[in-house]
Chain A
């Protein structure tokens, strides 16, 4: 089945610096890759996603890139702010009716220091 590995497990950056979180997946049939943010004590929330027919997607300070050949995708956060501090999860799925499950990585705890 699908396996998603996520690195690093913790990441500390200075406010204003960039942060990059990387994930690799094993199932070449996966075609949907969302990223969720979970603040302390809160529920996970979708922040950005990308489909396999797209190599990069941006939304203000966050971007996701996908390399299908290498089977890895990354989250990029620029100009980090203290409110970006949270745990970030990547996930992968095949998509399609009843054929897939959303498999999550183990999470990255990002700390942004003022």
Chain B
């Protein structure tokens, strides 16, 4: 579990501000994912990436931007934060999506948008 980290762990921001959540993994996993967790909704996929420079939308991508210039990093940016984006954000990685391998989750970032 120490192989995937997220920063910051807690963030408070204001409506309209840009926020970037960082995710870093040391396993050289091909696949990386961003989820948001809200009460009553479980874990919802925001974006995922199959490899460096390859990203794709998940269930709830609106208002978010991702990039993956290096295999180990997968930052998530909220370009103009809204109150509805208050949530706990989890990053995850997996070795090989084709084999449907286990996804390993980071510790999460609790984001509050005032």
Contact surface of A with B, Cβ cutoff 8 Å: 1, 6, 32, 34, 42-46, 49, 51, 89, 91, 93, 95-98, 100-107
* Residues of chain B at interface, number, CB under 8 A: 24
Assess A97 versus B59: contact at CB under 8 Å? Given A44-B43, A104-B43, A107-B42.
no
Complex contact B1–A103 (CB within 8 A)? no
Judge whether B100 is part of the interface by a CB distance below 8 angstroms: yes
Complex contact B56–A93 (CB within 8 A)? no
> Which residue, of B35, B43, B108, has the highest number of chain A Cβ atoms within 10 A?
B43
Assess A101 versus B42: contact at CB under 8 Å? Given A32-B100, A44-B90, A95-B100.
no
Complex contact A43–B107 (CB within 8 A)? yes
- Summarize B's interface: helix, strand, loop or mixed: mixed
Complex-state Cα separation, A91 to B105, whole angstroms: 15
Contact of B59 among A32, A91, A103 (CB under 8 A): A103
Contact surface of B with A, Cβ cutoff 8 Å: 1, 33, 35, 40-45, 48, 50, 56, 58-59, 90, 97-98, 100, 102-103, 105-108
Q: B41: which A residues are within 8 A, CB to CB?
A: 106
